[in-house]
Amino acid sequence: MKPFLLTGTLNRSATIFLAIVATAGVLLPALNLLTPDASALHVPTYLVSLFGKYVCYAILALSIDLIWGYCGILSLGHGAFFALGGYAMGMYLMRQIGTRGVYADPVLPDFMVFLNWKSLPWYWHGFDMFWFAALMVVLVPGLLAFCFGWLAFRSRVTGVYFSIITQAMTYALLLAFFRNDFGFGGNNGLTDFKDILGFNVQADGTRAALFAASCVALAASFLICRAVVDSKLGKVLVAIRDAESRTRFLGYRVESYKLFVFTLSACIAGVAGALYVPQVGIINPSEFAPANSIEAVIWVAVGGRGTLIGAALGAVVVNYAKTVFTSGPLAPYWLFLLGALFVLVTLLMPKGLLGTWHAWYGRRKPAPTAGATPSDETEFAGEIAKPHMAE
């Protein structure tokens, strides 16, 4: 692999990607707010929220691709960081309800009133301030990822073992958040939000603003990830992905690199979750479900692992397919379609959508540069334990 060549050309598709995100971020809200309902160009509000949701998923996919595509760490529990960010934002939104809850309690959220709680638990304090909640959105997932990663990477838990314990982590959190005694609303989670920063969350303007904010966050996360993978640090990450032991013997502190990128990725996932919650209007423990995390990994695979743009694209495509398939005459069969999509993408497009697009495009045009050969199969050896008993 010739990274220095990569940088120059990739910057170009990166620019295009950013341009699309920026256009969407401006165009969709504008079409929603500025055109009359009857106009052919009008974008209904529910589409704004829907695309807002996709954009949040795209950010989550980016964060997964950062560790999986570039560092070979497969986390099957990234939904946990997403959900934690979401909960932090949800707690802020709950505190904003104030006396407008059904029991009109000025401090306690409704679910605490009917569970008969007398005062706010200590971990709910501070969330009435936006800056604090925003800090927690990044801090809580980041801290969890740091502790978890510190334990796991230091003892060299890698490959499938790491994947499975991340799954155990999100599963444990799922069970914990389901418990009503835990103080996060149990199965019902946090819902019925009213205001964000003083604006009504259901107003068209707020929704448009949230969508625009999500687009900004997507662009920012993309730039951060881009910067990381383009830097020298990024090269070391790729080296770790392709040959962890060799990198270690070359004198790099592998676990520090992994820990940094894992924590960063968790922070990005937390931001995605925080933007997701006000747009869908609910955060609930089922976001911790291991299946959700697996699905997020699948978005990345569908889009094209190791290509940041592909990850974002995969998230949008799969979720768009889900939206379409679950309505109309196909509704009873949508799982067949989704399942078939996953199987076919794996079999026919092993490089994901973007990879296949490039391969197809590349065949039609002779490669302008020589020497850049696709890396061989061994690159994946690092991310999963060699399953065969010996090789």
Partner 1 sequence: MTFPTKSLLSAPLSRRGWLAAAAGLCLGLSTFAPARAADDTIKIGILHSLSGTMAISETTLKDAMLMLIDEQNKKGGVLGKKLEAVVVDPASNWPLFAEKARELITKDKVSVVFGCWTSVSRKSVLPVFKELDSILFYPVQYEGEESERNVFYTGAAPNQQAIPAVDYLMNESGVERWVLAGTDYVYPRTTNKILEAYLKSKGVPAGDIMVNYTPFGFSDWQTEVSKIKTFGSAGKKTAVVSTINGDANVPFYKELGNQGIKATDIPVVAFSVGEEELAGLDTKPLVGHLAAWNYFESINTPANKAFIKAWHAFTKNPKRTTNDPMEAHYIGFNMWVKAVEKAKSFDPDKVIAALPGIKQANLTGGVSEMLPNHHITKPVFIGEIQADGQFNVVSPDDPKKARLVPGDAWSDYLPGSKDLESDWVKLKCGNYNKVTKKCGGQAS
Partner 2 sequence: MIPRLAVPLRVLSRALSLLAAIGLAAMIATATAARAGSFADAVALFAAGSFSDSADAVSQIETSGNPLALPIVNALHDGRLYADEASKTVVIKQPDGKVINAATGAPAAMPADAGVVRLNNKLRRRIAAALGSLTLLAADPETRIQAARAVYKSHDAAALPLVEAALRKETNAAAKNALGDARAAILLFKPDAAEADKLDAIATIGARGDQEALALLSSIPGNLSPAAAKSAQSAMQAIKSRLALWSMVQDAWYGLSLGSVLLLAAIGLAITFGVMGVINMAHGEMVMIGAYTTFVVQDIIRARYPAMFDYSLLIALPLAFLVAGLIGILIERSVIRFLYGRPLETLLATWGLSLILQQAVRTAFGPNNREVGNPSWMSGAFDLGHISITYNRLWILCFALATFAVLLAVLRFTRFGLEMRAVTQNRRMAAAMGIATSRVDALTFGLGSGIAGIAGVALSQIDNVSPNLGQSYIIDSFMVVVFGGVGNLWGTLVGAFSLGIANKFLEPFAGAVLGKIAILVLIILFIQKRPRGLFALKGRAVEA
Within 315-374, the residues that bind partner 1 by CB under 8 A are 320, 323-324, 326-328, 331-332, 334-335, 350-352, 354-355, 357-359, 361-362, 365-369, 372-374
Q: Would you list the DSSP string of 130-154?
A: HHHHHHHHHHHHHHHHHHHHHHHHH
Q: Which residue has the tokens 């625009």?
A: 212
Instruction: Pull the structure tokens for residue 150.
Output: 């510190």
Dist CA 241 CA 247 (whole Å): 9
- Give dist(CA 150, CA 153) in Å, integer: 6
Among 116, 119, 155, 369, binds partner 2 (CB under 8 A): 155
Residue 359 interacting with partner 2 (CB under 8 A): no
Task: Write down the least CB distance from residue 154 to partner 1, Å.
Answer: 28
Q: Which does 168 bind (CB under 5 to 8 A by kind): partner 1, partner 2, none?
A: partner 2
Instruction: Give 100 or 125: the residue with its C-beta nearer to partner 1.
Output: 100
Q: Select from 43, 83, 169, 271 the one that contacts partner 2 (CB under 8 A).
A: 169
The answer to whether residue 99 forms part of the interface with partner 1 (CB under 8 A) is yes
Q: For residue 245, state whether it binds partner 2 (rule: CB under 8 A).
A: yes
Cα distance between residue 352 and residue 302, in whole Å: 5
Residue 205 or 362 having the CB closest to partner 1: 362
DSSP 8-class letter at 155: T
Site mask for partner 1 (CB under 8 A), range 216-245, x = bound: ------------------------------
Tell me how far apart the alpha carbons of residues 380 and 363 are, in angstroms, rounded to a whole number.
25
How many other C-beta atoms are found inside a 10 Å radius of the C-beta of residue 21?
A: 20
Structure tokens at 282: 């609910």
Q: Does 100 bind partner 2 (CB under 8 A)?
A: no
Which of these ranges, 30-38, 190-198, 221-229, 328-336, lies near partner 2 under the rule CB under 8 A? 328-336
| Nearest-angstrom CA–CA distance, 99 and 108 | 9
Amino acid at 22: A
Residue 337 CA neighbour count, 13 Å, CB half:
16
User: Minimum CB separation from partner 2 for residue 383, in Å?
Assistant: 7
- Our CB check for partner 2 shows the closer of 240 and 271 to be 240
Give the type of residue at 242.
D
Among 18, 20, 243, 341, binds partner 1 (CB under 8 A): 20
Q: How far is the CB of 379 from partner 1 (least distance, A)?
A: 6
Question: Which residue in the set 72, 159, 189, 314 belongs to the binding site for partner 1 (CB under 8 A)?
Answer: 189
75 binds partner 2 (CB under 8 A): no
Pairwise CA distance, residues 284 & 177, whole Å = 8
Tell me how far CA of residue 113 lies from CA of 93, 128, 178, 191, in angstroms: 17, 18, 18, 15
Question: Which parts of this chain interact with partner 2 (CB under 8 A)?
Answer: 74, 148, 151-152, 154-161, 164-165, 167-169, 171-172, 175-176, 178-179, 245, 290-291, 294, 297-298, 301-302, 332-333, 335-336, 338-343, 345-347, 350, 377, 380-391
